[in-house]
Amino acid sequence: MSRIATRFAALKREGRGALIPFLEAYDPDLATSTAILHGMSEAGADLIEIGMPFTDPMADGPTIQRAGQRGLKAGATLLGTLAMVRVFRERDDTTPVILMGYLNPIVAYGAERFCADAAAAGVDGLIAVDLPPEESDLLAPYALNHGLDIIRLVAPTTDEARLPLVLSGASGFIYYVSITGITGTRSATGADLSAGIARLRRATDLPIAIGFGIRSPAQAAEATGIADAAVVASALIETLAKDLDEDGHARPGTAERVLDQVRTLANAVRATRVAA
């Protein structure tokens, strides 16, 4: 069983949902993002999502755009991001790692070689934001060959007619984009989430994570009460960004402040029992 399936099965037995915190590779530098990555599972991350910086992140709001720009300025490449995962795997062989990014750097790297290298580094799943199911033959066959899950996005705009296509070939978990909008802007209401997740549950047995707009411990708790996991990204990056000095460099303790926030979020998620 894959690390992702194993982790969700274990959490189900525990009767709680998962916290999936996000970090952008090399933001603001390799050492700080490595420190955040290494501290995350101890701080309560159940799965970890790593953003791969891209010059033109069209689904992201200003917070993650700037994180990507800082990452690129610090020298982020796919090769470097995979190296971060490889080093992390030497310390932690159980926490699933998902890479999230845009297609072009993967195409430039070579989709097949990228899947091979990502699997070898210890990556468990891929989210390619600008790869809808209609185009997935560019990446999915190679991911499948190398045992990587392709995590599909489902949005509020994904209608009933389209849902089976989006779910076909999905594995690992489903990422429910909770709002029509970009990352880090607004949040869905509990009622909207409940309706959206109920619709998805009828169509898939895969675990469901909610992302986009989850910022506070209360929102994370609410999301894991409705779905199986909560992704928190922009709120963590804002904490990091606020802590940087005027030149955009990390200060002593920057990583620790991000991890403190992960701990707070994790406590809220762990205190929420899932209705059986």
Site residues for other proteins per CB under 8 A: 54-59, 61-62, 65, 69, 72, 77-78, 102-109, 129-132, 134-135, 152-159, 162, 166, 177, 180-182, 185
The least distance separating other proteins from the CB of residue 136, rounded to whole angstroms, comes to 11
Residue 49 designated active-site: yes
- Helix (H) or strand (E) segment spanning residue 86: helix 78-91
Give yes or no for a contact between 82 and 52, defined as CB atoms under 8 angstroms apart.
no
Residue among 88 and 212 whose Cβ is closer to other proteins: 212
Tell me which of 24, 29, 46, 49 is the catalytic residue.
Answer: 49
Residue among 158 and 224 whose Cβ is closer to other proteins: 158
The least distance separating other proteins from the CB of residue 72, rounded to whole angstroms, comes to 6
Residue among 93 and 159 whose Cβ is closer to other proteins: 159
Tell me which of 24, 46, 60, 228 is the catalytic residue.
Answer: 60
Give yes or no for a contact between 59 and 183, defined as CB atoms under 8 angstroms apart.
yes
As a residue count, the chain comes to: 276
Residue 260 designated active-site: no
The least distance separating other proteins from the CB of residue 110, rounded to whole angstroms, comes to 10
Q: In what order do the strands lie in the sheet with 97-101?
A: 149-150, 125-128, 97-101, 48-51, 18-24, 229-232, 208-211, 174-177, 153-154
State how far the alpha carbon of 54 is from the alpha carbons of 8, 23, 71, 269, in Å: 29, 14, 9, 31
Can you state the percent helix, strand and coil of the chain, rounding each to 5?
A: 50, 15, 35
The least distance separating other proteins from the CB of residue 46, rounded to whole angstroms, comes to 24
Residue among 99 and 221 whose Cβ is closer to other proteins: 99
By annotation, the residues acting in catalysis are 49, 60
